[in-house]
A = this chain, B = another copy of it.
Amino acid sequence: MDYQSIITFFMEMAGTVAFAASGAMVGVERNMDIFGVSVLGVVTAVGGGMIRDIVLGIIPPNVFINPVYALVATITSCLVFLVFYWKRQLLEGHMRLTYDRVMLVMDSIGLGIFTVVGVNTGIRSGYMDNVFLLVFLGTITGVGGGLMRDMMAGVPPYIFVKHIYACASIVGAVVCVYMNRFVGNVEAMMVACFVVILIRYLAAHYRWNLPRLSHNESEK
């Protein structure tokens, strides 16, 4: 296992924990049982990578070859469930703000890491020159899990309603693709990951929003 693989592995682990926690928290908020919470956590953590592998023809998807990701996601989800099971008040009052903030941080880290991991998987599969495919792979790895989480939980997909979520992932993927041509692979991943988290943080902090139609018409 070379240097690059080790870095990638640790980044993937961190992303898995972050996304599993964010998925589990959506399940907790929807009042699901421990199984539903775990499924949402695992789907959020491995769903994007699974779509990416199927699109790339990596059969069976990597998540089944290295079950450690799903295992870590399951354990993380169960821990999140237990924390809220014993400390229910964490979901209420001013603790709610902390909840939202932790959720944001978790989600941003996962988004950044998974975006660059997705781009990297595409490069290793030999599609270095197909920028469009690489950016798609990065973005779907980054937002795919959250999208599946929201569709399964029956909530409006986060990527459509909140700030410039997926845009951060797209920008990060583009940065990662182009930096790969000039600097080393690991450096490109680090910088691009940081870019995603920074954009996401700034967008949330300064309430950046993309242009949209006014709210005149009533939404159904």
Contacts and interface: CB of A to CB of B under 8 A. Distances in A.
Interface string A97-137: 00000000000000000000000000000010010110010
* Copies of the protein in its oligomer: 3
A209 B167 contact: no
A213 B55 contact: no
A184 interface: no
The A interface is mostly helix, strand or loop, or mixed, namely helix
Given A56-B60, A59-B56, A88 B31 contact: no
Given A85-B211, A152-B160, A213-B88, A219 B54 contact: no
Contact of A160 (B84, B153, B156): B153
A56 B64 CA distance: 10
A188 interface: no
Contacts of A177: none
Nearest to A67: B132
A156 B152 CA distance: 8
Nearest to A68: B132
Contacts of A147: 152
Given A36-B160, A55-B60, A166-B35, A88 B214 contact: yes
Contacts of A215: 31
Contacts of A84: 213
Contacts of A34: 210-212
Sorted from nearest, which 9 A-B pairs have the closest CB atoms?
A57-B59, A33-B210, A67-B132, A33-B212, A64-B133, A36-B160, A34-B210, A154-B156, A35-B210
